[in-house]
Amino acid sequence: MKERILVVEDESQIAKILKLELEFEGYEVVTAHTGRLGLTLALEGSFQLILLDLMLPELNGMEVLRKIRKENHLLPVILLTARNMTMDKVAGLDLGANDYITKPFEMEEVLARVRSALRLAAYSKKMATNDQEKLSIQDVMINLQTREVERGGNSIFLTPKEFDLLVYLLMNKNRIVTRDDIIYHVWGYEYEGETNVIDVYIRHLRKKLNDDFSDSQIIQTVRGVGYIIRES
Give the model's pLDDT for residue 215: 59
Task: For the domain covering 132-229, report its CATH number.
Answer: 1.10.10.10
Give the model's pLDDT for residue 231: 80
Give the model's pLDDT for residue 123: 67
CATH class of this structure's domain 4-124: alpha beta
Phi, psi of 179 (to 5 degrees): -60, -35
Predicted TM-score (pTM) above 0.75? no
Distance separating alpha carbons of residues 192 and 123, to the nearest angstrom: 25
| DSSP sequence for 58-119 | SS-HHHHHHHHHHH-SSS-EEEEEETT-HHHHHHHHHHT--EEEEES--HHHHHHHHHHHHH
Domain extents for the chain?
4-124, 132-229
Give the model's pLDDT for residue 128: 56
The rounded average pLDDT for each run of 10 residues, N- to C-terminus, in the chain (232 residues) is: 93 95 96 96 92 94 92 88 72 81 89 85 64 79 85 87 88 88 72 66 89 73 90 74
